[in-house]
Amino acid sequence: MLSAPPIRRPVTWWWFLVPALTCGFGAPVIILIGAAKLRSRINVVMGIGYLALALFAFVGIQYTKPGKTGLIDGLVLAAVCVNWFAGTAHAAILAMRVRGAVAAGAPPPIPVDPALAAAQWRVNRRQEARAIVATNPALAAELRIGRPDLARQYDDGGLVDINHVPVVALMRALDLPEDLARTVVAERDRVGGFTTPDELTVYCEGVTPDGLARIRDRLLFVPL
């Protein structure tokens, strides 16, 4: 089974910065956003409360005078402090709750089938190896791509150089019967090497279109 796409959790870690960097005046905005995402009535009420305090502080500041303290000054300072410190903490808590709610509501990941993952890896590896053969033949020869009959360290995903491997390698790597593998080698030598997979069905009796389809992706044709 294929794995499910990764869960994209909302990036909310920065929410606490809004009230923290605005002296609390941004607290109502972020709290109401969090309330909407969580569909929380109590947070809506609290967000409105932060908004009322912010408005009171904004208006009250207009009536404060430098160097003098009074009741208005104390109330304004208290309103700012509540929005600033409590709003910052509240925003941080809401950020964590929103991330947790998204994670809790997401479907569990579908486990990956190891066999399917390994097969897909081999397909990708063959594509990589073919690119090396096409762009750097010398390196491909050094890596012995398509030569399961030779000692090597590079894993090419199961490619088989049909023009160079012996009968035994054809039998083992492509699971061909011995008589069919011998026919392929004999015809290969007779015509001077194959260039396309379809030539196998033309020159080699016993190679059927269905059989060719099974091994087509693993065939490599390096000129003799």
* Chain centroid offset of residue 102 CA: 19
Decide: pTM greater than 0.85: no
Residue 28 within any structural domain of the chain: yes
All residue ranges of the chain with pLDDT < 70 are 1-10, 65-70, 102-110
**Domain coverage including residue 28:** 13-105
| 192 & 123 share domain | yes
DSSP at 22: T
Residues 131 and 167 reside in one and the same domain = yes
Q: How many other C-beta atoms are found inside a 10 Å radius of the C-beta of residue 28?
A: 23
Residues in the chain: 224
SS3 (DSSP) at 220: strand
Tally of domains within the chain? 2
Residues 98 and 48 in one domain: yes
Residue 2 lies in a domain: no
pLDDT digit string, tens, across residues 35-88: 888 888 898 999 899 999 989 888 888 877 665 566 777 888 888 898 899 989
Q: What's the pLDDT at 213?
A: 94
Considering the domain architecture, whether residues 204 and 130 belong to the same structural domain is answered as: yes
Shared domain check, 91 and 119: no
The beta strands (E) that lie in 88-197 are given as 160-161
> Residue 66 is encoded by which pair of tokens?
């430098």
| Nearest Cα to Cα of residue 175 among 118, 218, 121 | 218
